[in-house]
A and B are shown apart, each in its own frame.
Chain A
């Protein structure tokens, strides 16, 4: 039982990691990027190519892939999302969905249907474990992912709260018109926010690849998990995302013990329950992504 809880909590770290970018992007730009999961999978494939063809360990590969993801985020915002946001509320959803279809199927065409993994390229890290008191073993990778998630979430929070550019991004999120009048370039602020979000997506993709398998269409489920984690925790709050990830993971882990289908069933179920309870308690329409703290 304790073991299940521990494994669940650690899985929650992964979910928090992938949810971080999604909820950051929503806090700042009010966009839910439906291509979020697909982009994480893209990062995993990029690391795979570097590992297979150039014999670069994924950790080294990250040095190339992370900046690349940041650039992709920057360009995505400048050329796709900025335009989409201007065209109305519905358009960013449609545009990012279209993008996810392009990425998913493009990956399928390029890499085929086989499931892949980065675990072959990280040596023993994929199965090394640490012994904890009480005869519990935790994977080094899982612990590392959890710590990374906390670091990323904490880093984002510190960035937003205490750095000049973080303030600029928060200001642009609240009132882009006045932000311009104060000397902030709103387009640059949102583009940098997207770059940061996709940087974290790159990290999540690496974690995804290392801890398990992925295929071209894995983006959809990753998006759903990220979204569920963010909503359960009440995104916009850093620690909320972490708690949301943990709750989702615990539900899934316990569900899996009941039946193989239970993993997904329990996860989606908990999400819907939390959603509906919150709606019922709050009454009235309200977004579950709050403003940045």
Chain B
């Protein structure tokens, strides 16, 4: 390189500008949707938002922090449980949802200290055991009435259409806030730290990246996000049967979404959630073979296309819709860019 070569550090590309524009437009459309969508469609959209949150959160933990957890249903269940508790104490149900997510986030901090010392499969199953433990403890609460469960009764105070709209908007807002927060995180120094840890943890530590703190941040953040999703699910389903929330099936869904969409990429998780939503809409009613299909698809993707659909697209085209990385653009004198 001679002294006349200059280069620029770019964060945005044409594609990413378009993509962000599209996201904004979609968000606006989604926000006004309640005014022209029927109740069934709104319920489904709310569920889609919940799935996207779950996928993005699981992806953040596995793809960015490198931690595969087979026990994220822990936070889902606790999010729903604390919502019930708070509502029972007279808190407005919507405030209770946010509050529950916050409580779970706080619980996740001390939990992270022992759990982050585990690696690989031990962490995965360790989280599952903690989830089972939480399930058992929640069952002990008389409010929950064991496996019969209870409901978010105070929501009934709102009449149905208003309730549906409020839940929808809350879900949309939660989704956008979580996505925005994660996006900001990835663009910040933490994002660079995440990338370094992914590439080579030891090397990252040796240049001063605070590995455990970074992982802890992601662990707590995803706990918060999944808890929020649990609270939202409770709001749409109204009933709280511990068994349905603390089920490892949720992890199966999250793994499917992220593996098929693309692990470690923002866009991939969203894509995976949309695909899962579509499949569930069409095939969910066919019973248990649907689950076999999910598991088999996850297995096949893990073996054949571990980077998921988005990963494959990204690899082929270099397409990055969300500007979370850095690009180096060279300007050589006399050469057209």
Contact = CB atoms under 8 A, between A and B. Distances in A.
- The reply, when asked whether chain A contacts chain B directly with Cβ atoms under 8 A, is yes
Interface of A: 26, 30-32, 34, 80, 83-84, 87-95, 97-102, 105-106, 108-109, 220, 223-224, 227-228, 231, 261, 264-265, 268-269, 271-272, 275-276, 279-280, 284-289
Interface residues of B, number: 43
**Which secondary structure characterizes the binding site on chain B?**
helix
Contacts of B66: 89-90
Contacts of B70: 34, 93, 97
A90 B133 contact: no
B109 to A, nearest CB: 15
B291 A284 contact: no
B288 A93 contact: no
B336 to A, nearest CB: 40
Interface string B121-165: 110111011101100110110000000000000000000000000
7 contacts: A26-B121, A31-B121, A93-B124, A97-B255, A101-B298, A224-B132, A261-B139
Contact of B114 (A34, A89, A279): A279
A271 B126 CA distance: 9
A224 B289 contact: no
A288 B122 contact: yes
Given A80-B303, A84-B302, A109 B119 contact: no
B292 interface: yes
Nearest to B303: A83
A219 to B, nearest CB: 11
Interface in B287-303: 287-289, 291-292, 294-299, 302-303
A109 B289 contact: yes
A94 B121 CA distance: 10
A93 B68 contact: yes
Nearest to B248: A220
Nearest to B134: A268
B128 A224 contact: yes
Interface of B: 62, 66, 68, 70, 114, 117-122, 124-126, 128-130, 132-133, 136-137, 139-140, 248, 251-252, 255, 259, 263, 287-289, 291-292, 294-299, 302-303, 306
B306 A224 contact: no
Given A34-B124, A99-B299, A109-B292, 18 more contacts: A26-B121, A30-B120, A34-B70, A89-B66, A90-B120, A93-B120, A98-B255, A98-B298, A101-B295, A102-B295, A105-B289, A108-B288, A109-B287, A228-B129, A264-B136, A265-B136, A268-B133, A280-B114
Nearest to B117: A279
Given A97-B298, A272-B129, A89 B136 contact: no
B302 A101 contact: no
B321 to A, nearest CB: 24
B149 to A, nearest CB: 16
Nearest to A262: B136
Nearest to A259: B140
Contact of A91 (B129, B140, B306): B306
B296 A102 contact: yes
Given A88-B306, A272-B133, A287 B122 contact: yes
A75 to B, nearest CB: 14
A191 to B, nearest CB: 16
A268 B246 CA distance: 15
Nearest to A269: B133
B55 to A, nearest CB: 14
Contacts of B124: 32, 34, 93
A87 B295 contact: no
A99 B117 CA distance: 27
Contacts of A284: 117
B129 A98 contact: no
Given A224-B128, A287-B119, A94 B259 contact: yes
A220 B124 CA distance: 13
Contacts of B288: 105, 108-109
A30 B122 CA distance: 11
A95 B305 CA distance: 12
B122 A261 contact: no
Contacts of A286: 117
A285 B117 contact: yes
A271 B125 CA distance: 12
A94 B122 contact: no
Contacts of A223: 125
B252 A101 contact: yes
A230 to B, nearest CB: 10
Contacts of B136: 261, 264-265, 268
